[in-house]
Amino acid sequence: MILTAAFPDEDLAAFEALRKRHFPSPRNFLRAHLTMFHQIDNIRLADIRSTLAALAADVVPATVTTTGIYHLGRGVAFAVASDELNNIRAALRRSFQSWLCPQDLRPWRPHITVQNGVDTKKANLLFDELRKEFEPKTLNMIGYQLWHYQGGPWKLEAAYSFSDPAR
């Protein structure tokens, strides 16, 4: 299982356009996204779902800001930062601690990937281009999405919306 942050489509539109243009099309199965956890043990699916639902009910939408361009070696991503996002992930990590893979237990560097799996020269060109024109962008995290990894494409298992701050 993979957990991603959920954003309104319009918040991700610019990242999605870059991804369509620069991500190798044979490997581009997904829309632009921000992965919160790469691998949660799906044997505990009922527990995962109930934990996500309970935590989402207590969280209001969060603001996330792009802070720069992140070089992946063979790709490029937008680095993001948010105390709210970090707090949400920390609460989930505490709940999922025993179900997480080693990658998800290491320090987290949240980002939105727009290119991956290309040669270094191509990645360097996009990195330099995006870095020159970079301006911070604010995104509104409105929940999270739980996905099944299917050897390439992902299948949405469930989506969880944060509580309405007006209620």
Which pLDDT belongs to residue 37?
Answer: 96
- Per-residue confidence band for 167, with pLDDT thresholds at 50, 70 and 90: very low
165 pLDDT band (50/70/90 cuts)?
low
Which tokens is 92 given? Answer: 């989930």
Tell me if 128 is assigned to some domain: no
* Residues 92-140: tens digit of each pLDDT: 999 998 888 899 999 999 999 999 999 999 999 999 999 999 999 999 9
* Nearest-angstrom CA–CA distance, 81 and 64: 6
Predicted pLDDT at 163: 83
User: Does 52 reside within a domain?
Assistant: yes
With respect to residue 143, please indicate whether it lies within any of the assigned structural domains.
yes
Count how many domains the chain has: 1
- Band of residue 164 on the pLDDT scale cut at 50, 70, 90: low
* Assigned domain for 74 exists: no
The Cα angle at residue 139 between residues 75 and 121, in degrees rounded to 5? 15
The average pLDDT across 143-156 equals 90
Token readout for 34 is 């921000």
Per DSSP bridges, beta strands 34-37 and 62-71 are unpaired
Question: Tell me: the pLDDT tens digits for 36-75?
Answer: 999 998 888 999 999 999 999 988 899 999 999 999 999 9
Q: Assess if residue 98 is contained within a domain.
A: yes
- Whether the pTM exceeds 0.85: the reply is yes
Task: Give the distance, in angstroms, between the CA of residue 160 and the centroid of all CA atoms in the same chain.
Answer: 14
Q: Is the pLDDT of residue 142 over 80?
A: yes
Residue numbers of the domain that contains 93: 2-63+82-110+139-161
